[in-house]
Structure 1
């Protein structure tokens, strides 16, 4: 689902063909354009927006031709490491929907530092990006990727179900919990919660209660009093009040909402087209204020990086400059509902007037990245956090589940403060 958290899927055979012929080595001749290949996992409702960036770039000049293909994220993650190590992969790729994965490619020296930064249309305008996005992809003071997008999570709700139950959209965390219980009735779930293969929403629930996953020393705080108390109300709502099925993937949660079997879901802008197509009387509002009355939600991005073995690093950076440029990003936001990754579009009148973009953009100031630059962040999620949520929602005692997850996470991050 979700980013998690999306271009028409090309035939697997075509992707295999790219792999076999060596995309990084592709290029133009003296009489033709330089050819760049791009792999992504953008196969969802926002896919046409990415595809349009490529079309517009190719139409803007004749020196470079970009070909982009898309497959599911898990396929990209299986193919790309070996493809880039052997020089047979694409010139550019979005390696995963998880921004933290770039750390792995930096360690294996599979990605190039990005150097063509600065002002102007032919440079990558990093000073105009949201600062957290630059920090996320910077290692040893070198930038190794640019954001392919920036998304916040909002609260989707089924207007018809709300009207029938006499419920209004929640604005506080207390109202959200009460609405989730009241809307769970007759085979309809109040707040459908995916816990695997999805954009992370459980951290948002913890943040709403004042909790977190790790501290500033990258040590787990899940087993602390605050960590446990931030999980308990939501675990209780799932286990005792049955507001959501247990063990849902992102796609399964989306399917329930699309079928009118769930009143609410926390999701990103990529989900809106599918819900509208399904005929849902759709409402979108900001994630309710946290227990302290402050806005908070997940901010997510997917990285775009250049293969260390690309024969056309300059042209690749030129394409990334276009992708992240002001013109392309405004058009992308208007077509997909994503907030802009650029701070210089924050006050753009057209974006502020768009009913979808405006909701997601309004949450940028309160958005937080998930496990930003935490060592082994991807495995912290897959081996520690996700299994913990799965066991807690199946009835494992809170202390037992959080203590087990804490040990796993501290081992992965190298925490030595305990």
Structure 2
């Protein structure tokens, strides 16, 4: 799953039979005398695809009366065809509508998705109390749950052990203050201390704000960029970029990855999808938890995509069984061990099998401490593209944080309809 090329994206891998997007009826492949066939559309195309393939195979083995056909296609194709397909009842039984978790809202508004009632702790229930933080709220509207997290990823701190040793630093930073100090010390001789992308990337700048106690919006969707805590995080790191040159300015996610892969960056915040490529590039790689913030608490970015059931499916019970299976503890443990990605459950953060894998353990341990980016926010995609990304571009190129956050805050409030 190469996730640094798209904003607000969770590009995980998935499963099995690639079917044409012909829009056939959800019930057309089922026979009254044979097993039910569930059609699933996803945009999961990355390196964790074998894990999703395994979920489907195992589900079919344990549920011989249900078959699953999972179609993998580009996200933009799904976003173009799914709305009308679900409205007319010609679409799949189950789909991941978008890599943006906020996209589920439009399907709720058009009554295109089914409310999930099989929540609880039973064998065929979705145990919402164990799902990653924020995901249940993200997919709940008017008190009803309409989707589950199809996947979940956290960001960790990648570091180049050789560059640390060359700089006389024995261990990765454990506090945000140490990370800032180390970033300065590691910068020089063609090396960036902490490479920071600010566009076409999964966002890591919000983490820097959260570590200082700041945020982007409050629960009402109003900008809080102008608060002292928010400005502190932005000021600290924009100053380090401008004045101490800890990172090149204006990098995309892919460009930041290339800098780290080339051994020209000592640290980078990134997700589990990056580890295989960095190891293949010969980086003496270390992975650590994101350092704790000023309050001594851990926090990192969590990202997800929704998985929902069509309101017009002919097989609601079987579809709900599949989602319950997908989110179950044993399945998520196996998925994580297969792919190297963290599970979407919090009760596996200290699992002995996951802890035995040095890469998986770091990402899995941060699931309980993770936060979603702009959760449950109207116009979240435009808040990112029209306000937050331009803000980062300005403060790393000389605009004062006070001026830039004032302008971005006004844009955000206009997009969300906030009235202070």
TM-score, L = length of structure 1: 0.90
- 1:244 paired with 2:247, answer yes
Distance 1:245 1:25 in 2: 53
Task: Check the 8 A contact 1:45/1:273 in 2, yes or no.
Answer: no
1:78 Cα deviation (Å)? 4.1
What whole-Å deviation, never above 9, does each CA across 1:129-179 have from its counterpart, x for those lacking one?
A: 346322221111111001122322110111122222222311111221122
Q: What is residue 114 of structure 1 aligned with on the other side?
A: 116
Task: Check the 8 A contact 1:32/1:63 in 2, yes or no.
Answer: yes
Q: What is residue 311 of structure 1 aligned with on the other side?
A: 314
Size of the aligned set, in residue pairs, is 413
1:117 Cα deviation (Å)? 2.5
What whole-Å deviation, never above 9, does each CA across 1:347-371 have from its counterpart, x for those lacking one?
A: 4322233322321233234322222
Name the SS for the 2:134 alignment partner. helix
- Counterparts of 1:18-37 in structure 2 under 5 Å? 18=21, 20-22=22-24, 24-37=26-39
Change (3 A) 1:77 1:21: closer
Q: What is residue 137 of structure 2 aligned with on the other side?
A: 135
Once superposed, what is the RMSD of the aligned Cα atoms?
2.5
- Counterparts of 1:261-410 in structure 2 under 5 Å? 261-410=264-413
Distance 1:250 1:84 in 2: 33
Task: Check the 8 A contact 1:38/1:92 in 2, yes or no.
Answer: yes
Q: What is residue 60 of structure 1 aligned with on the other side?
A: 62
1:273 Cα deviation (Å)? 2.4
Change (3 A) 1:209 1:245: same
Distance 1:73 1:245 in 2: 30
Query: Structure 2: which 5+ residue stretches go unaligned?
Result: none
Distance 1:131 1:392 in 2: 30
1:54 Cα deviation (Å)? 1.5
Change (3 A) 1:76 1:240: farther
1:9 Cα deviation (Å)? 9.5
Change (3 A) 1:131 1:289: closer
Q: What is residue 150 of structure 2 aligned with on the other side?
A: 148
What whole-Å deviation, never above 9, does each CA across 1:299-344 have from its counterpart, x for those lacking one?
A: 2222111122333222211111111112211101222333333344
Distance 2:418 2:186 in 1: 42
Distance 1:90 1:214 in 2: 35
Distance 1:79 1:245 in 2: 39
Distance 1:157 1:257 in 2: 9
Task: Check the 8 A contact 2:56/2:68 in 1, yes or no.
Answer: yes
Runs of 4+ deviating beyond 6 Å: 8-11
Distance 1:252 1:87 in 2: 42
Change (3 A) 1:124 1:8: closer
Task: Check the 8 A contact 1:76/1:96 in 2, yes or no.
Answer: yes
Distance 1:178 1:170 in 2: 9
Q: What is residue 256 of structure 2 aligned with on the other side?
A: 253
Task: Check the 8 A contact 1:23/1:36 in 2, yes or no.
Answer: no
TM-score, L = length of structure 2: 0.89
Task: Check the 8 A contact 2:151/2:304 in 1, yes or no.
Answer: yes
Distance 2:34 2:254 in 1: 42
Distance 1:46 1:136 in 2: 23
More helix by share: 1
Query: Structure 1: which 5+ residue stretches go unaligned?
Result: none
Q: What is residue 175 of structure 1 aligned with on the other side?
A: 178
